[in-house]
């Protein structure tokens, strides 16, 4: 269990897998991605580590940043908890006559998913990296987008993109 109680780590009895579960305040667990390989120092999500083979023990550092896994082969490997949220960006038109507007969404971490909303910064819904709005009225609008990385970290400052849907000239 992580020091702040938000994550539970589970190791495979046979094999080399380590999984992370998010722990809700009521104790409910949901799959929440994996750990980052500290040796490789990459952002690729790693759910197994070759050579670890049948993890016997998992220990978190007191600060909660590192997860240490030990196996019966006297192997110890270090994994870093990903606590950094991704940054989110969106590209799309500033002005358009189309009432369904298409946007391209990006995040600073590979494998991120997105949540979007138009004109309401509190009602986010899952969306894809190629996001198209519902039919919009002829006026100014704001797209709000936030990314969630594979470790479950949410971009707390959604990206805002203002755009206008204008009536076509006849």
Chain-centroid distance of CA 37 in Å reads 17
68: enclosing H helix or E strand: strand 66-71
What sign does the dihedral 130-86-125-100 (CA atoms) show?
negative
DSSP notation for 3-62: TTSSEEEEE-SSSSBEEEEEE-TTS-EEE---EEETTTT--SEESB-TT--SEEEEEE-T
Q: Distance (Å, rounded) from C-alpha 50 to C-alpha 11?
A: 13
- Name the CA dihedral angle for 9, 10, 12, 16, rounded to a multiple of 10 degrees: 0
**pLDDT given for residue 42 in this prediction:** 47
What are the residue ranges spanned by the domains of the chain?
Answer: 7-80, 88-165
Predicted pLDDT at 152: 81
pLDDT for 45 equals: 47
What pLDDT tens digit does each residue of the chain (170 aa) get? 877 777 787 776 665 567 777 777 777 777 776 555 545 544 444 445 556 666 777 888 877 777 787 776 667 777 777 778 899 999 999 999 999 999 999 999 888 999 999 999 999 999 999 999 999 999 999 999 999 987 788 999 999 999 999 999 86
User: What's the confidence (pLDDT) of residue 13?
Assistant: 64
Q: 11, 58 in Cβ contact below 8 A?
A: yes
What pLDDT is recorded for position 125? Answer: 96
Q: Which fold has domain 88-165?
A: Immunoglobulin-like (2.60.40)
């Amino acid at each position: 269990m992580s020091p702040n109680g938000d994550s539970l780590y589970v190791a495979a009895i046979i094999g080399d897998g380590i999984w992370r579960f998010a722990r809700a305040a009521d104790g409910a667990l949901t799959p929440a991605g994996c750990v980052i390989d500290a040796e490789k120092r990459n952002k690729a999500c790693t759910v197994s580590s070759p050579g670890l083979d049948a993890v016997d023990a998992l220990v978190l550092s007191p600060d909660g940043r590192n997860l240490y896994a030990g196996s019966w082969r006297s192997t110890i490997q270090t994994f870093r908890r990903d606590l950094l949220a991704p940054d989110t960006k969106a590209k799309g038109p500033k002005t358009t006559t189309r009432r369904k507007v298409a946007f391209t969404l990006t995040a600073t971490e590979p494998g991120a998913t997105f949540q979007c909303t138009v004109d309401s910064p509190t009602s986010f819904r899952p969306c894809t990296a190629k996001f198209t709005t519902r039919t919009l009225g002829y006026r100014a609008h704001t797209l709000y987008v936030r990314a969630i990385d594979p470790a479950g970290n949410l971009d707390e400052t959604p990206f805002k993109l203002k755009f206008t849907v204008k009536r076509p000239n006849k």
